[in-house]
Amino acid sequence: MAARQVRALLMGGQACVFYGAAEFSRDTDLLILADERNLECLKNALKDLQAERIAVPPFSIEFLERGHAVHFRCGHPEAADMRIDIMSKLRGVDAFSVLWERRTTLTDADGTVYELLALTDLVKAKKTQRGKDWPMLQRLVEAHYLKNRGSAGPDQQQFFLCELRTPEFLTEAARKWPELAARLSRERPLLALAQTGNLEAMSEALLAEERAERELDRVYWRPLKAELEKLRHAARDRE
């Protein structure tokens, strides 16, 4: 992707590894800029990887902009059977141009550059209907909190208060920054519980919060899944 100058941000499990919340993943999940020039660069990169599309929908701007993921399988010997999932739009996350400006850029020992979805955006992207995403989301925020709680600036303080999902750490953060917690409790009511230190009630409130987000994601994907099903039926009919 870097060699072909594709504007793409690594997300998913492999991005979680970079942020210190280890997760094994056979897939490479990329968020891309959906314009004609960038898609041409991406097509060249996929050709280098000997990657073939393996499922619906078709690979086009139209489907990417509607929120679909396009799936590929690599045939190149150095990436044999690696799956690549491409998206350009995520529920509850800003447009690609905004995400690109606040991306995280990392360079490894051999000079390879990795462009990652910023941690704050990766956390939002993990709020899905899939059960496996929520423990990872919790670990992502925990790792960042433990590393930065002693030196957190205003933006980080707000991020921790809005996104921490561990009752003990959330209680600690609410007591550390009480005025901000009180202000943000209008957006996240369970922060009022965090200031009381009632861990049992907080655990229940966090589960309720998770259930609500998972339902929002189900509603978001319902029409997209229905569209995919129509595409699958049409493909079978052509066969």
> 146-170, pLDDT tens digit by residue?
999 999 999 999 999 999 999 999 9
Give, as one character, the DSSP assignment of residue 103: -
Length of the chain measured in residues: 239
Residue 230's pLDDT is what?
93
Q: Which of these, 36, 31, 196, lies nearest to 126 by C-alpha position?
A: 31
Give the separation between CA 115 and CA 118, rounded to whole angstroms: 9
Residues 6+ apart with CB under 8 A from 144: 19, 20, 119, 159, 160
DSSP 37-101: HHHHHHHHHHHHTT-EE-SSS-SSHHHHHTT--EEEE--SGGGTT-EEEEES--TTS--HHHHHH
Q: Which sign, positive or negative, has the C-alpha torsion 189, 193, 194, 200?
A: negative
Mean pLDDT of 100-105: 97
Average per-residue pLDDT for the chain: 94
* CB 146, CB 35: distance < 8 Å: no
Which phi-psi region, left, alpha or beta, contains residue 43 (left: φ > 0; alpha: ψ -120 to 50)? alpha
Say whether domain 8-125 belongs to CATH 3.30.460: yes
DSSP helix/strand/coil, 186? coil
Mean pLDDT of 91-110: 95
Q: What are 149's two structure tokens? A: 């709680």
Residues of the chain within CATH 3.30.460 domain(s) are 8-125
Residue 18's pLDDT is what?
87
> 57-81, pLDDT tens digit by residue?
999 999 999 999 999 999 999 999 9
Residue 112's pLDDT is what?
87
Asked if pLDDT for residue 232 goes beyond 80, the answer is: yes
Comparing 18-32, 184-198, 217-231, the range with the smallest average pLDDT is 18-32
Which phi-psi region, left, alpha or beta, contains residue 16 (left: φ > 0; alpha: ψ -120 to 50)? alpha
- pLDDT class of 26 with cuts at 50, 70, 90: confident
Give the separation between CA 59 and CA 88, rounded to whole angstroms: 12
Residue 22's pLDDT is what?
67
Asked if pLDDT for residue 23 goes beyond 70, the answer is: no
Angle at 134 between CA 132 and CA 137, to 5 degrees: 115
Asked if pLDDT for residue 21 goes beyond 80, the answer is: no
Residue 235's pLDDT is what?
79
Asked if pLDDT for residue 211 goes beyond 90, the answer is: yes
Mean pLDDT of 27-49: 96
Give the separation between CA 160 and CA 154, rounded to whole angstroms: 10
Q: What are 9's two structure tokens? A: 């941000």
The pTM score is 0.92
- CB atoms under 10 Å from CB of 234, counted, come to 10
Phi, psi values for residue 28, rounded to 5°: -110, 115
Which phi-psi region, left, alpha or beta, contains residue 197 (left: φ > 0; alpha: ψ -120 to 50)? left
* CB 105, CB 111: distance < 8 Å: no
